[in-house]
Amino acid sequence: MWLHGQIDWFAVLIAAWLYSVGGVIGSFLNVVIYRLPLGMSLVRPASRCPACLTPIRWYDNMPVFGWLWLRGRCRECGVDISARYPAVEALVACFFVTLAASEFCFGGERDPVSAAAAGFHLPWASDLSATGIWMRYWAQVLLAVTLLAAGLMERDGSAVPFRLFRPALLFAIALPFVWREVRPFPFDYGLVQRLPSGDAIFQQPLDLLLGAGAGLTIALFAWSLVRRDQQGSRPMIITLLAIGVTLGWQLTVAIGVVWLAWLGLCRAFANSVDRRGGLLPLAILALFTLLAWRPILSAMLAISARSLE
């Protein structure tokens, strides 16, 4: 990133810090995915080889680099360590940095559509100090890692416990009452404002209710598209509820429609694909949407503006 022809070292430092934090969170996510469905403590015992049970040394447990240094094998017994561990760490680390770039370079504190119309802009230090944007960022990060953990648990054939979603749900429900810009769009964005100015106190409850309603409606439609033993599945309902209360009804509907179309295709052409309910594809779709909706909207507005010239 460049600032008046020079490297903006503050932005570079923030990006490096976010990548490091993301890698650590990804490493912890691997522990959550394995231990939480088994009812094990997430803290004790310390990380260890699943074959010889030897505790992993701290320098061998560094995200991504530890696995590469050991060439994917346990230092003590030489058994192979799944490549999924560093893959999850790298994915989460890259997501942390890319989401910040999307939020600050295509967003900031401005109206979402006007910000997209302005296109890409560099993350100035004043933008990086905006508390409201960071709160929105952390709410979306918490949702993303929760969805990824739920999807991988289901992929492994493990039960997805409700307590996995508690932090994301509590954060998304409580935080907007303090910082209103946490959700990308207000519930009435682009519509005629019907509430009197004195009734702005109802903004957040309506955002919350409409977002939750959108998520539960998508779950209702998905009920007929998944296998009979997945109908009414609590993980599916809680996942869509978490998406709804965090992102609002607009993005929830966009994600839900694409996911329902995928479930319909699986039901019609590949029944074995959706045998676990489709939480991992839903998680991947939600992560992609969080990263891409601002750049895509910016590109669409730019194309539209050129066509009118």
**Residue 246 vs residues 88, 116, 202, 210, 290: alpha-carbon distances, Å:** 23, 21, 17, 11, 11
Rounded distance between C-alpha atoms, residue 32 and residue 30, angstroms = 5
Joined together, the tokens standing for residue 272 give 């074995």
Q: pLDDT tens digits, residue range 256-270?
A: 999 999 888 887 776
Give the SS3 label for residue 225. coil
Across 32-68, b (16+ Cβ under 10 Å) vs e yields: bbbebbeeeeeeeeebebeeeeeebeeebebbbebbe
* DSSP state, residue 8: -
Rounded distance between C-alpha atoms, residue 204 and residue 181, angstroms = 10
Phi-psi map region of 46: left, alpha, beta (phi>0 left; psi -120 to 50 alpha): beta
pLDDT for 103 equals: 86
pLDDT for 126 equals: 58
The residue written with tokens 């993303």 in the block is 144
pTM: 0.86
DSSP codes joined into one string, 116-142: HHH------HHHHT-HHHHHHHHHHHH
pLDDT for 270 equals: 64
Give the distance from CA 140 to its chain's centroid.
Answer: 5
Give the SS3 label for residue 50. coil
Q: What are phi and psi of 119, to 5 degrees?
A: 80, -160
pLDDT for 10 equals: 78
Rounded distance between C-alpha atoms, residue 19 and residue 266, angstroms = 35
Pair 260, 226: CB distance under 8 Å? no
Q: Encode the chain (309 residues) as per-residue pLDDT tens digits.
A: 444 445 677 788 889 999 999 999 999 999 899 889 888 878 777 777 666 766 777 666 778 887 777 777 777 676 777 888 889 999 999 999 999 988 888 876 667 777 777 777 766 665 777 788 888 899 999 999 999 999 999 888 888 899 999 999 999 888 887 777 778 877 766 655 455 544 456 677 788 888 999 999 998 888 877 765 554 467 888 999 999 999 989 999 999 999 999 888 887 776 544 445 688 999 999 999 999 998 888 888 888 777 766
pLDDT for 19 equals: 94
Q: What are phi and psi of 250, to 5 degrees?
A: -65, -55
Domain locations in the chain as residue ranges: 159-309
Rounded distance between C-alpha atoms, residue 191 and residue 180, angstroms = 18
* DSSP state, residue 57: P
Rounded distance between C-alpha atoms, residue 209 and residue 81, angstroms = 44
